[in-house]
Structure 1
Amino acid sequence: MSQSPEIEIAGRRIGAAHEPYVICELSGNHNGSLDRALAMVDAAADTGCDAIKLQTYTADTITLDVDRSEFRIEGGLWDGRSLYKLYQEAHTPFEWHAAIFERARKRGVTIFSSPFDETAVDLLAGLDAPAYKIASFEAVDLPLIRYAAAKGKPLIISTGMANLAEITAARDAALEAGAAGVLLLHCVSSYPATFEDANVRTVADMAQRFGTPVGLSDHTPGTAASVAAVAVGACAVEKHFTLARADGGPDAGFSLEPAEFSALVRDCKDGWRALGRAHYDTLGSERGSLQFRRSLYVVAEVKAGETLTRANVRSVRPGNGLAPVHLEAVLGQRAARDIARGEPLAWEMVAK
């Protein structure tokens, strides 16, 4: 396997050798308004994100309108909601997709989506989506993964709740069915997720185990987990987005507002640049500072033949004299000439 695997989405290479790919998840925070969805695209583009992502389903393609207890959510952000009514509220209508895709492309931002059934894959294929995202809850739906992969585009697969065998099966199904590469996203399917559960060290372990690019789908508050993931090798970060949490919305509680998302983009990319490489050489940017290291200076006037002592030689800044390591070697020696206070000490000033 390659030591640095990567995939390509819309001409952008994604992998450990490249700055992190930041995906802005719009989800259902449009609150049922196409105008708001388009405004979210504009606001997302302004953050500097690399891609915008939707979710493509209807209530009828993702669940059933059935009054049974297993179709009702218990606990968490959506406690008491029926799956059908939640998805009715949160879905992005199929007929909106063309306008949203057009707006993103007009703004110069890559856009793709998470399909939740074959009709959604077909819709996205018709819009020439450059990639498909498989959500964590669908990571075990191998027929859906194979159907999306057969379109020949890269697949991004979130791994929330999935064990090693399930992740392996999802990756293999995608590659065997024709996907142009797989990007795995470590994910905690809790909304919001806690920092204690984030376990972003899993990113590095996944990269080693699966031989694919690996990123993070982040449901924790703020940006800390995403930046930490980049520090351990995440080459992509996905985070939910809203115009304002106060406006409400299905995912508003764990979504970032525009200024926060801009900070996420900046911090992830700056953090990646700061990782650099392991080295111990003086950098070009440091050379101007070398003169301000400590060195040996004469701190009291010394006449020729007088002894150099701690009273007249000290290690001070700047760094124009002998290195401090030579202090013991010069103490007790005699001055070869008169030396004024403030002169940097050099070997020619020390009598042989």
Structure 2
Amino acid sequence: MTVNIGSRTIGAGHPTYVIAEIGLNHNGDVEIAKHLIDVAARAGADAVKFQKRTPEIATPPHMRDTIRETPWGTMTYLEYRHRVEFGRDEYVEIGDYATMAGLDWFASPWDVPSVQFLEDLNVVAHKVASASLTDTEMLTALRETGKPIILSTGMSTLEQIDRAVDLLGTDNLVILHATSTYPMEPNEANLRVIPTLQARFPSVPVGYSGHERGLQISLAAVTLGAVAVERHITLDRTMWGSDHSASLEPSGLEHLVRDIRVIEEALGDGVKKVFPGELAPMAKLRRVPA
């Protein structure tokens, strides 16, 4: 019940795989993307993730002509999507930068041409965004790559998840529990779905993709057995863009990785034992020997 991505192994008994989701928080700027890669590497994350769209395909028709105010002026939603989308040259640059920083990198494709785009760049894995869980055409294209697939399950029912897993297969699959509210309030976290998914798909590693403020919920997910944790990251939560407010700033990501590693150590192996550090207190305090 493990999946290998790059040089890392994801599954029970292995370090939690921490994905720093850059997404579109680079705001179409390669230098911001590089700064965010640096943030992820310094914090000790395992991977950085982006999003890749073909705007004419991935933008819902009813949204294309919607007017949006942006830092680059007033434009349609479709024009905005083009403005923040990286092309091949930018992805080669940031992908090489992430690799040199010791990080895995991949992206969430939002349409079939984007799958091929990422395959041409030889990504180590593919991520299915929650919004794409019901896109059977794209899921089929992803399955045919033979690459590891990470499936987010926000805005989805168990029956929809079943259909996606049936299509993708359980080999080389990681499932992430998620709630697609930005930012997410604690009463929508529903972390007990993690063991529900573990029981429903016993041969698939299960993790957590969070959109909450703070760290507590992500850390609780690890104590419930999440073997991967994905969080959006930003240089500054006040930056313009829809995902920044639900993202971790650099110090937040550092604290998240630090605390996950402490929790991993503290969880132990489940075997009750007397530790060496208890021997002196036992000799001092226990009046009746066993």
Same fold (TM over 0.5): yes
**Contact 2:63 2:77 (8 Å CA) reproduced:** no
Q: For residue 177 of structure 2, what is the aligned residue in structure 1? A: 186
Q: Report the equivalent of 2:218.
A: 226
Aligned counterpart for 1:248 among listed residues 237, 240, 246: 240
Whether the aligned pair in 2 keeps the contact of 1:192 and 1:219 (CA below 8 Å) is: yes
Quote the residue 2:59 is aligned against. 63
Q: Deviations over 1:56-102 (max 9, x none)?
A: 11422311565789x699xxxxxxx9753553455344431111100
- Mean CA deviation greater in 266-275 or 49-58: 266-275
Percent identity between matched residues is 35
Amino acid aligned to 1:20: T
Specify which of 192, 200, 208 is matched with residue 199 of structure 2: 208
What's the CA shift string for 1:112-154, capped at 9, x where partnerless? 1111112211121111111100000100011101101111111
Q: Which runs of 5+ in 2 are unaligned?
A: 69-74
TM-score (norm 1): 0.75
How far is 1:290 from its partner?
Answer: 2.6
**Cα offset for 1:54?**
0.5
With the length of structure 2 as denominator, give the TM-score of the two structures: 0.90
The letter of the residue matching 2:174 is L
Instruction: Identify which of 87, 93, 103 aligns with 2:97.
Output: 103
SS at structure 2 position matched to 1:285: helix
Match of 2:8 among 12, 21, 43: 12
Task: Return the alpha-carbon distance in structure 2 between the equivalents of residues 287 and 59 of structure 1.
Answer: 64
What is the alpha-carbon distance in structure 1 between the residues aligned to residue 256 and residue 100 of structure 2?
23
- Residue equivalent to 1:27: 23
The runs of at least 4 aligned residues of structure 1 exceeding 4 Å deviation read 64-69
Pair 83,16 (structure 1): closer, same or farther in 2 beyond 3 Å: farther
CA drift at 1:193: 1.0
Residue in 2 that maps onto 1:340: none
Alignment of 1:113-152 (within 5 A): 113-152=107-146
Distance across 2 between alignment mates of 1:191 and 1:50: 23
One-letter amino acid of the structure 2 residue matched with residue 231 of structure 1? T
1:257 aligned residue: 249
- Alpha-carbon distance, 1:206 to partner: 0.2
What letter corresponds to residue 233 of structure 1 in structure 2? G
User: 2:127–2:151: 8 Å Cα contact kept in structure 1?
Assistant: yes
Structure-to-structure mapping, 1:226-305, within 5 angstroms? 226-295=218-287
Q: 2:85 aligns to what?
A: 91
Give the structure with higher Rg (CA): 1
Q: Work out whether residues 23 and 238 of structure 1, in 8 Å CA contact, stay in contact via their aligned partners in 2.
A: yes
Instruction: Give how far 1:33 is off.
Output: 1.2
* Aligned counterpart, 1:304: none
Higher relative contact order (CA 8 A, sep 6+): 2
Letter matched to residue 266 of structure 2: A
Does the CA-based 8 Å contact 1:28-1:92 persist in structure 2? no
